[in-house]
Structure 1
């Protein structure tokens, strides 16, 4: 089981590296979309907590 996990993690790492090298603009775009999603989620949670308190 541990060996399988190690192989999967290495494969994922190689895939990510290949994607970044092959298409850096698209990779940067995906990272930006991800961080925007996290930011929006944090903002929504903050607004929800604010409304709960009020």
Structure 2
């Protein structure tokens, strides 16, 4: 059971449990930096070997489309339509 937070006088906001408040900006900044690094790497990979990058995109698309097709077949089998 959580202990009750003390009440504040009228006109003053009640205290909050902000133990994770200091961690949120750090995590947000780390995610932003990792995102920019990933984007920079992708641009570098596309410019240095566009043929290989195209092959990767094509293969990835085939994997995703095959996954959706398999998912559809599964639900058809579950619903006894296939």
TM over 0.5: yes
Runs of 4+ in 1 over 3 A off after TM superposition: none
Residue matched to 1:36:
62
- Counting matched residue pairs gives 54
What do the CA deviations read for 1:24-54 (whole angstroms, capped 9, x no partner)?
0000000011000001100101111111111
TM-score, length basis structure 1:
0.91
Flag the structure with higher helix content: 1
Residue of structure 1 aligned with 2:46, choices 20, 28, 31: 20
TM-score, length basis structure 2:
0.62
Q: Which structure has the higher relative contact order (CA within 8 Å, separation 6+)?
A: 1
Question: In 1, Cα distance between the equivalents of 2:65 and 2:39?
Answer: 25
Unaligned runs of 5+ in 1: none
